[in-house]
Copies of this chain bind each other. A is one copy, B any other.
C-alpha cells in the first residue's frame, strides 16, 4: 500500500433513506479523525455527481469540526435527519470506453481541489457510477481511490448481508403494519385492507411486514412478494380462507407484483413514465387489488400505500441500522486509506445464533447492476407468506430505537 495524500469528495445519490445521513456522518467522522494524515479535507458534492459537474461543493471538514475533533452534537443531529443532506441525483454516467471526454472533465475538477478520494453513498445505480469511474481511472494517470458505500432501503445489493437503510425502512413497515392490524381489528364486519409496500424487484421490504407475526394475530394475514408470480384466483381463495376464520383480513403486497405473463398487477394505474435508468414508477398495486376484491366479495375494502414515509421516517429508525450506517461510512474511508479502490463496503454476518457483523470491501464489478432477491427458502410454499428463517434474518436489523432530539413536539433536522 502506498500513501496517498489529498482531498476527498463525498456524494449521496439515488432515493433518500432514513439512514443515508448516518452514513455521511461516518465518512465525516473518519476523515476528521484521520487528522489530515491521508485525507486532507472532505468536500461534499451537492446533488451527487451533478454538483461535482457544476463545481458545487461544500467544505464538510470545516462544517463538522469542533475543538479539533468531530462535532458530535452536530453529527448526531445529522444522523437523525432523513433524506440526503447533501441533496441527491439520478444521473447515469456514460460508458468510459465511449465517452472519455466526460471523464476528462471530471478529472479537471478533481485536479483543481487535488481530490484523491471519491466516496459515493448510494444503491445499485450509484454503484454503477463508482464502477465506471473506477474503470476510467485504471486507464488514466490521475491517481484517485474510488469507494462505493451502500445505501438502499430495498436491500437488493449483491455481495453484502444487508444494506444500510433497509433496517430502518423494515422497522417502519413492521411497526406500521402492526398498528394497522390493530386498527383493522376493532370492527366485526368483514373487511379487507391491502397495504402496498415499496420494492420494485425484490420483496425484502414486503417480507419485513411479517415481523409482527411473532405475536399471533398481530401481523398481516397474507404477504405477497414480487419473487413469485401473482395469481388473482389464488389471492381470492386465500382471502376467503382467512375470512372464514376472522372478519378483518390484512394483506401486504409489494408494489412490484407481476402476473405469470410478466404484466405488473398495478399496470393499469402505473405512471407510464420511466426514469433515466428505464425504471417505471409503479403505483396502484394495492388499488387494483382493492377494486378486484370489492367486485368479487362486495365487502368493505381499503388500500393503503405506505409511500415515501417508508424511506424517510427517521423518527422510527432502527438503532442497529443507524449505528451500522455510521460504521459503514467510516469503513469506506478506512478501505480507501488502506489502498482499496473500485470496491464497495460489504457486511458479513457471522454464522450461528446471536448477531455479529464484520465489514469488508469487495470488488464493485460483481456488485453493480446485480439484483439480490429474496431466496426461495424465505417464502412459504403457497407463496402467500414468509418463513421463520426469513424473519430470523430480518429481525436483528430492526432492533433498537433511536432517540432523536425534539423541539416543540417535532424532531430537529439538520440542514447543511
Q: Which residues of A contact B (CB under 8 A)?
A: 12, 16, 47, 50, 81-84, 87-90, 171, 174-176, 178-180, 182-188, 193, 211-212, 214-215, 217-218, 273, 300, 302, 304-305, 307-309, 311-316, 318, 395, 398-401, 406, 408-411, 413, 415
A302 to nearest B CB, angstroms? 8
| Contact, CB under 8 Å: A183 / B409 | no
| Contact, CB under 8 Å: B413 / A188 | no
Q: How far is the CA of A313 from the CA of B182 in the complex (A)?
A: 10
Asked whether A188 and B409 contact (CB < 8 A) given A82-B183, A179-B309, A314-B179, the answer is: no
A354 to nearest B CB, angstroms? 14
| Contact, CB under 8 Å: B188 / A89 | yes
Asked whether A174 and B312 contact (CB < 8 A) given A50-B188, A304-B307, the answer is: no
| Contact, CB under 8 Å: A188 / B47 | yes
Nearest residue in B to A408 (C-beta to C-beta)?
B395
Asked whether A311 and B183 contact (CB < 8 A) given A47-B188, A50-B188, the answer is: yes
Q: Which of A182, A312, A315, A409 has the most CB of B within 10 A?
A: A409
Enumerate chain B residues within 8 angstroms of A218, measured Cβ to Cβ.
413
Asked whether A47 and B16 contact (CB < 8 A) given A175-B315, A400-B409, A409-B318, the answer is: no
Quick one: which of B212, B311, B313, B409 contacts A398, CB cutoff 8 A? B409
Q: How far is the CA of A82 from the CA of B182 in the complex (A)?
A: 7
A50 to nearest B CB, angstroms? 7
| Contact, CB under 8 Å: B212 / A410 | yes
Q: How far is the CA of A84 from the CA of B300 in the complex (A)?
A: 19
| Contact, CB under 8 Å: B89 / A187 | yes
A187 to nearest B CB, angstroms? 6
5 shortest interchain CB distances as A-B pairs: A398-B409, A183-B312, A88-B186, A83-B182, A83-B183
| Contact, CB under 8 Å: B413 / A182 | yes
Nearest residue in B to A314 (C-beta to C-beta)?
B179
A200 to nearest B CB, angstroms? 15
Enumerate chain B residues within 8 angstroms of A174, measured Cβ to Cβ.
409-410
Q: How far is the CA of A171 from the CA of B315 in the complex (A)?
A: 12
A215 to nearest B CB, angstroms? 8
| Contact, CB under 8 Å: B182 / A214 | no
Asked whether A186 and B305 contact (CB < 8 A) given A174-B410, A313-B176, the answer is: no
Asked whether A187 and B400 contact (CB < 8 A) given A312-B180, A315-B316, the answer is: no
Q: Which of A184, A300, A304, A408 has the most CB of B within 10 A?
A: A408
Asked whether A410 and B180 contact (CB < 8 A) given A16-B186, A89-B188, A186-B88, the answer is: no
**What are 12 pairs between A and B in contact, CB < 8 Å?**
A16-B182, A16-B186, A47-B186, A83-B182, A176-B313, A179-B315, A182-B312, A182-B413, A183-B308, A183-B312, A193-B308, A315-B316
Q: How far is the CA of A89 from the CA of B318 in the complex (A)?
A: 35
Quick one: which of B179, B311, B409, B413 contacts A211, CB cutoff 8 A? B409
Quick one: which of B83, B87, B305, B410 contacts A175, CB cutoff 8 A? B410
Q: How far is the CA of A242 from the CA of B216 in the complex (A)?
A: 49
Asked whether A187 and B87 contact (CB < 8 A) given A304-B308, A395-B408, A413-B218, the answer is: yes
